[in-house]
Amino acid sequence: MESKLHSFMVEWTINFVKNRDLVSKKIEKIEKGKEGFDLYVKYKDKEQYFIILPSDILNAFKDIKDNSYFSIVLLNSAENLSFVLKNWNKFASFKCLSVIFVNPFSSSDKKWILYPHTHNKICDESSLETGLKSMFEMVDPADEQQTISRIG
């Protein structure tokens, strides 16, 4: 079941990346599975790696190089948000990391994107949790089993 969800989310991410590039047209190549990552996108000016729905998020960090562009794609669940908050310093330590919280079936926005390193620089630590929860609430919460049942 999880592989079906993972495959669906890889395809969702490919569509998301392509849609973001409609105007700038900087994508040169998209590959699945390059160097052990779920997705690799070669742009004219950079390379970006995607880790999609990792079962062990902290273990995924071992493959992240500090000067490379990486995105971790997670379901927009309270558990995932809580995990990011608990491990905030680790997430914020990577200069070019983004975390994309997703619910493809949300009735409003489908995703929100967090850039922990940048966010950490501009956000007051006392308001971090409130701010992230506010962004989290813009997208309907996503449950793994519910999402699996919706993809059929």
- Sequence ranges of the domains in the chain: 2-151
SS (H, E, C) the chain: CHHHHHHHHHHHHHHHHHHHCCCCCCEEEEEECHHHCCEEEEECCCEEEEEECCCCHHHHHHHCCCCCEEEEEEECCHHHHHHHHHCHHHHHCCCCEEEEEECCCCCCECEEEECHHHHHHHCCHHHHHHHHHHHHCCECCCCHHHHHHHHC
Which range is least confidently modeled, 12-26, 32-46, 47-61, 110-124?
A: 47-61
**Mean pLDDT computed over every residue of the chain:** 92
Write the pLDDT tens digit of every residue in 25-41.
Answer: 999 999 999 988 999 99
| 92 vs 95: CA distance, rounded Å | 7
Residue 1: per-residue pLDDT: 43
| 151 vs 102: CA distance, rounded Å | 14
What is the pLDDT confidence band of residue 112, given thresholds at 50, 70 and 90? very high
Write the pLDDT tens digit of every residue in 62-75.
Answer: 877 777 899 999 99
Q: Which two tokens stand for residue 78?
A: 């309270």
> Which residues fall within 8 angstroms of residue 72, CB to CB, at 6 or more apart?
50, 51, 52, 54, 57, 60, 97, 98, 99, 100
What is the pLDDT confidence band of residue 95, given thresholds at 50, 70 and 90? very high
Contact, 48 vs 40, CB < 8 A? yes
Residue 2: per-residue pLDDT: 52
Give the residue, 68 or 46, on which the prediction is more confident.
Answer: 46
| 134 vs 89: CA distance, rounded Å | 20
The whole-model pTM stands at 0.93
